[in-house]
Amino acid sequence: MAAHPHDHHHGPLLYINQMLDCYDISPINGFACGGTSITTFADPSFKPWLQTASNLPNLISSKKLRSTIDSWPHLSPEQLVSLEEYRLAYLLLGHLVHAYIWANLAEESPCPRIPAPLARPFLEIVNELEVPLGICFASTALWNYTLDSEGKEGCVVGFTGTSDEVHFNLTSRRVEVAGAEALTAALKAARVAARTDKETVAEVQKLLKQVAQSLGQCKVELLKMKDGLDPAIFYHRLRPYLVSSQALPDGVVFVTDTDADDRYQLGGSTGGQSSLFQALDILLGVQHSDASGRAQFVQSMRRGMPSGHARFLEDIRVLPSIRTFVQNQVKAENGAEELVATFNAALDVLKTYRDSHVQVVTLFVVTPAGKTAAADGNNANNPGSTANFDESGSTEPRGTGGSELFSLLKGMREDMKEARLG
């Protein structure tokens, strides 16, 4: 049962950590959960899953992936013994589903028919965990994390076997961890904003400064993306596996050995599915309009989030508004100039983060897309051409060079200005 953040007197809002725990959110690591992912199962019968996933890049390059999965034994998730094992299975099988569909795309057509040994357990796991079908930001970045005995970070599973992919996933996760303090500080500020005593202004101001400081660190971490990720490797080798199934008009068939195989649309993995920045928009009073399409974009991204995170975003809408609290101090002529400046400063840092995000998308998506647009156009009927595929992942809109996505991201940035006060 989800927490009820509107219960101010004796509910979980008085205990931010307990409240977050109800939604599978960590006060230390934010939406990136609390600890490292496990890398093995207690039951040795799941060895085929582990072996195939750990050898995924080689199986793709040798064109043996599909035949390997086709020959798997039928394994039941009922033998998984913990939430951590279910989550590990979700990481592994989700990556294998996308690899099965998109492997060797430059030479072969997609294969949108998932065989029963992979399809059946994956559908059961998705239903049990209440997570998106396919891969998502949580399964490539938030949960795809290991820490070895020497303190070296890594990923549980990957498509390409490159250090670039590991860097991409870990950097995305580090942004989330850096933003955990902004999330908890904003939640505390919303709780405090329900009060009317004279200490409240100073406390909200202090918490808003913490929000700004944490967001500044998010930007620092995001810009490190450039240090270990080659745009060509990301765009041409990794990105094709991260996309949704929108380019497949009949969807993806999951063979379940029943009379009628079910067809599904799969989401993909994209940073737009980050719950952190949607939460901060809500808590700071940033509005995205229906007319611009940005409100619909935000909602569509929630379909690619774990259910607890999506519920959290719905539930925090009932919290007291920090922005309204600041406005009320101005109306009451409480000498709120410094409070307004601090509130605006937090929004400004969030905007500069989004500025950096636009720069990163330009470097890794828009520019490489522009360089290959002519070639893709000339090969539009080739099933291996990237012109046929949603280049931005998940339910994000298509467009040459990510143009529609790009305009949405720039618009999200402009919405920050509208939220400022004074």
pLDDT of residue 335: 72
CATH code for the domain of 75: 1.20.58.480
C-alpha 393/C-alpha 45 separation (Å) is 33
Whether 5 is in a domain gets the answer no
- Read out DSSP for 90-106? HHHHHHHHHHHHHTTTT
| Encoded tokens for 384 | 């291996």
pLDDT of residue 199: 87
pLDDT of residue 404: 67
357 is in an annotated binding site: yes
Rounded (10°) CA dihedral 28, 31, 34, 36: -120
C-alpha 60/C-alpha 413 separation (Å) is 39
Q: Is the distance from CB of 296 to CB of 262 less than 8 angstroms?
A: no
pLDDT of residue 241: 96
| Encoded tokens for 8 | 């101010």
Number of separate domains in the chain: 1
CA distance readout (Å), 299 to 126, 266, 287? 20, 16, 13
10-residue mean pLDDT profile of the chain (422 residues): values are: 44 69 93 83 98 98 98 97 95 98 92 96 97 96 93 96 98 98 97 86 96 99 98 96 91 85 90 96 92 88 96 96 93 85 97 94 90 62 40 36 66 86 86
Query: 118: closest CA among 24, 2, 228, 253?
Result: 253
C-alpha 261/C-alpha 282 separation (Å) is 40
Whether 1 is in a domain gets the answer no
Whether 143 is in a domain gets the answer yes
Whether 10 is in a domain gets the answer no
Whether 6 is in a domain gets the answer no
Query: 294: closest CA among 394, 399, 405, 391?
Result: 405
pTM over 0.85: yes
Residue 254: in which H helix or E strand, if any?
Answer: strand 252-254
Q: By residue range, what is the domain housing residue 343?
A: 17-419
pLDDT of residue 11: 42
Whether 331 is in a domain gets the answer yes
C-alpha 59/C-alpha 162 separation (Å) is 14
Whether 3 is in a domain gets the answer no
pLDDT of residue 3: 46
Whether 2 is in a domain gets the answer no
**Cβ neighbourhood burial of 155 (10 Å; 0-12, 13-18, 19+):** buried
pLDDT of residue 291: 79
pLDDT of residue 350: 97
C-alpha 15/C-alpha 1 separation (Å) is 17
